[in-house]
Structure 1
Amino acid sequence: MTPFIRSMFVVARRDFLAIVATPTFLLFLLAPLFMVAMGLAGGMGASQLADSARGAGRIVVVAHPADIEALRASDQRLRAGMTREPAPLDIRIASPAIGDPVAIAREKGSDTYAVMSGPLTAPRIVEREKGSSAGRYLALLAGDVQRARAAGPMPSITPDFEALSSSGTSIAVQQSLGFGAVFIIFLLTLLLAGQTVSSLAEEKGNKVIEILAAAVPLESVFLGKLLGMLGVAVLFIAFWMIVAMGGGLIAATQVDPAAIAAAGKAGKATAALASMPATGWPFFLGIGFAYFILSFLLLGAVFLGVGAQAGSVREIQMLSLPITIFQVGMFSLSAAAASAPGSGLAHFAQIFPFSSPLAMAARAATDDAKAVHLLALGWQAIWVALVIFLSVRLFRSGVLSGGSGWKFWRRTKGAAAAAAAAEAASSQPR
């Protein structure tokens, strides 16, 4: 092992242990639990709000007593054929006291979307919004009652439903898997690669980076830091994969085998699960992990190279913000490509180096071609090497400058002296 590689691994091990062997790393490791908890809390609140809003609305029919049973039967028949049911139907008996549909629509305590009154042959429909679905449903309801009366009693039918079994997976499911891969790689990359900047800011503040630069080559310091954070990222992913596998095994032991055997669909469900991505689960997970590593190296190298130019934590935050916004743009581009596989936008996202890992991971879910991923890995590896080469130069200039930071208005000593002399000459009296 050459001294350069040995020093690189020493720096990587130092950074890895400095992050992992701390109590705060446990909080960082459990950060997804807090995100999931907040997501569940927000989802429960949103669902309760939606349920309460759904239960508060209604549509009202003011009908003659002889029409009530026909209206109920038609309402049940129409709702059975709708994927999204309208608001609950409130049927009231017509009387002089409750004959004004406008007054009913303005009643407090519940949102009334539409009110129908009068004879069913020529009903009067008062609706909150012109052309609303509630008003159209009431018109459809009145017409269905009239058609049922005109046709008379009809024999009931007993349809025999037969599900179309297919060994493949729908395109919508594969596109959803592609978007999930894009989102997970983006979230993990942004969450883990951003930690390189914070550790660099701390070491520049207490002059540790200058001591390392005096002891070993700066290139080995840069690559060691990048490898150390990559090790932290791999540990983070491995921990949650083990947790997920353990949770799956525990859930599997809680399922009654007799119930699964009685259903007779365990093998089919397993086969369907194995064929969900177009390339298969093993290849999909493996290539997704490879794309994550390349995306992490790309973004981590950029963060290290740009972060080395900052002289304070404030400057690091200001320099990191454009990179984060750029990465969010790459996520949006890759998400759009995942929803439109085979389009020109998808091809552009797969070729552009910073969105290529995300877009190609999405392609692995919708396209069964595997050889193209080897070409994509080589293309991305070239750009990783190029970005690391440029970032090392930025890292060297930032560390050797002493962390004074960038100033676009900085002038050389000669220019500053000439400007001072000119100012002094102009201020002397003639």
Structure 2
Amino acid sequence: MSLRRTLRQTMTVARRDFVATVFTPIFLLFLFAPVIMGAFGAVGGMGAASVAGDSAGKARMVAIVPPDQARIMAEADRRLRTAFRRDEAPPRLLTIAPSADPAAQARTAFESQDYDAAGVLYGALDKPTVLFGPLDRRTARYLGILSRETLADQRLGAEAPTVTVREVRSTRQGASRGGQNQSAFLAVFGVFFLTLFLAGQVVGTMAEERNNKVIEVLAAAVPLESVFLGKLLGMFGVAVLFVVFWGTILGQVGSFLPPAVGAAMGELTPAVGGPAFALLFFAYFTMAYLLLGSVFLGVGAQASTMREIQMLSLPITIVQVGMFALSSAAASRPDSWLATGAELFPLSSPFAMAAHAANSPALWPHVAALAWQALWVAIFITVGARLFRRGVLQSGSGPGWLSRMRGRRA
């Protein structure tokens, strides 16, 4: 009976916070925040792409070679470029006939204002010299390969062999190691992005209750642990609504993607299989939200003003980024001591275990991991409620530890 009453009180608080958050005009702004962020990102991306495209259009790699070698080099360059993607191809080749002083001519070409010289090659092709900028070492190496191909074609002449390649596209029957690692990183990034965007709202949920004296009423009628858990579940309901809304939209958009993109996504096959991975991803997002949210709720409950809440935003973000960095490193090295440590540490465990689901087909570790994380959620909620009871409610809604520290410094 006591457990049922506790659950009923917890769900009452959760429903109260969920309704108070969702049924407001501000929630629509929050729900469509990704559209606003995407619009700003698209504007910035188009500007950056325009600048990059303009710079790429002016970039050249210059080869100072005789006309007979220039023709052979242009053909070798055309052949080598087929191995590059469009955005990774070297700059366009410009050939110039040598003068009496090729070194001075190369320096003049490198400093030309008519184009941006990424690299300038001059001298004999068996021992060429290449001038290049600080960020253009790849272009210099490509010019070295191009000079070798030109010299080989020139010496072989008409006897140069021709190769006709028959290209056959194929798909793997199972998951590749690279696909698993990419799936692991995307899982870590997905959990991190969702918790970074959604879990930070938990910090300020207690400030309003303290300011309007509602927390005393709640604390008198409901155990503080139920209040903390109810608020956490209420905000998690808001997060689930957000994820379902955008997941549905993205799922519909995915059907319009080109076949090549769908084939590339098919390579991202997690080790546990698609359906099991989807369930585990949602489970670990849930645990990540509850773990980080319970910590943030306990810390944020000590703040009584918006300024103190803003002061807490930076360390909270640093903690989340640190967990992401640790789990990303562990995802690229499964079965290492780093991965084991990330899977055991409570705050990084959901991130690392989501990556574990992509790298390993075993399912039993996830049962143990979810139980381990649920235990720490209970610990964090209990500790946060006790700190709030002793530090804030000992004399009404008194100052939290942030205010006390500020008063001591003053």
* Structure 2 Cα separation of the partners of residues 16 and 224 of structure 1: 10
Task: Kindly state the Cα deviation for residue 126 of structure 1 after the two structures are TM-superposed.
Answer: 5.5
* Structure 1 Cα separation of the partners of residues 145 and 251 of structure 2: 52
Structure 2 CA distance for partners of 1:238 and 1:403, relative to 1, 3 Å:
farther
- What residue number does 2:399 align with? 404
Task: Kindly state the Cα deviation for residue 129 of structure 1 after the two structures are TM-superposed.
Answer: 4.6
Task: Kindly state the Cα deviation for residue 200 of structure 1 after the two structures are TM-superposed.
Answer: 1.5
- What residue number does 1:245 align with? 251
Task: Kindly state the Cα deviation for residue 3 of structure 1 after the two structures are TM-superposed.
Answer: 3.9
Residues 308-347 of structure 1: matches in 2 within 5 Å? 308-347=301-340
Task: Kindly state the Cα deviation for residue 309 of structure 1 after the two structures are TM-superposed.
Answer: 1.7
> Which residue of the other structure, out of 209, 221, 230, is the alignment partner of 1:224?
230
* Structure 1 Cα separation of the partners of residues 106 and 213 of structure 2: 79
Structure 2 CA distance for partners of 1:327 and 1:126, relative to 1, 3 Å:
closer
User: Quick check: which has more Rg, 1 or 2?
Assistant: 1
> Which residue of the other structure, out of 182, 187, 190, is the alignment partner of 2:188?
182
Structure 2 CA distance for partners of 1:202 and 1:74, relative to 1, 3 Å:
same
CA contact (8 A) 2:225 2:382 kept: no
- What residue number does 2:44 align with? 42
Post-superposition Cα deviations, 1:339-373, rounded to whole Å, max 9, x if no partner, equal 21111101110011111111001111111111111
* Structure 2 Cα separation of the partners of residues 120 and 236 of structure 1: 61
* Structure 1 Cα separation of the partners of residues 303 and 234 of structure 2: 21
The one-letter code sitting in structure 2 at the alignment partner of 1:312 is T
Does residue 1:5 correspond to 2:29, yes or no? Answer: no
* Structure 2 Cα separation of the partners of residues 281 and 169 of structure 1: 11
Unaligned runs of 5+ in 1: 412-430
The one-letter code sitting in structure 2 at the alignment partner of 1:85 is A
Structure 2 CA distance for partners of 1:142 and 1:160, relative to 1, 3 Å:
same
Task: Kindly state the Cα deviation for residue 393 of structure 1 after the two structures are TM-superposed.
Answer: 0.8
- What residue number does 2:29 align with? 27
CA contact (8 A) 2:324 2:348 kept: yes
CA contact (8 A) 2:392 2:399 kept: no
CA contact (8 A) 1:56 1:110 kept: yes
* Structure 2 Cα separation of the partners of residues 63 and 321 of structure 1: 58
- What residue number does 1:91 align with? 95
Residues 9-408 of structure 1: matches in 2 within 5 Å? 9-81=11-83, 84-94=88-98, 100-117=105-122, 125=129, 127-129=131-133, 132-154=137-159, 155-163=161-169, 165-248=171-254, 251=256, 273=266, 276-400=269-393, 401=395, 402-406=397-401, 407-408=404-405
Task: Kindly state the Cα deviation for residue 283 of structure 1 after the two structures are TM-superposed.
Answer: 0.8
CA contact (8 A) 2:65 2:122 kept: yes
Between stretches 313-322 and 200-209, larger displacement belongs to 313-322
Task: Kindly state the Cα deviation for residue 13 of structure 1 after the two structures are TM-superposed.
Answer: 1.3
* Structure 1 Cα separation of the partners of residues 319 and 122 of structure 2: 58
* Structure 2 Cα separation of the partners of residues 297 and 364 of structure 1: 20
**SS class of match (2:285):** helix
Unaligned runs of 5+ in 2: none
* Structure 1 Cα separation of the partners of residues 229 and 370 of structure 2: 20
The one-letter code sitting in structure 2 at the alignment partner of 1:279 is V
Task: Kindly state the Cα deviation for residue 15 of structure 1 after the two structures are TM-superposed.
Answer: 0.9
Task: Kindly state the Cα deviation for residue 275 of structure 1 after the two structures are TM-superposed.
Answer: 7.7
Structure 2 CA distance for partners of 1:49 and 1:175, relative to 1, 3 Å:
farther
CA contact (8 A) 1:222 1:395 kept: no
**SS class of match (2:6):** helix
Between stretches 17-26 and 338-347, larger displacement belongs to 338-347
* Structure 2 Cα separation of the partners of residues 10 and 294 of structure 1: 21
Post-superposition Cα deviations, 1:141-199, rounded to whole Å, max 9, x if no partner, equal 44433332322312533233344542123222222222222122222223322222223
Post-superposition Cα deviations, 1:317-357, rounded to whole Å, max 9, x if no partner, equal 33454333222211111111112111110111001111111
Normalised by the size of structure 2, how large is the TM-score? Answer: 0.85
**SS class of match (1:89):** strand
> Aligned residues, how many?
396
**SS class of match (1:332):** helix
* Structure 1 Cα separation of the partners of residues 400 and 365 of structure 2: 43
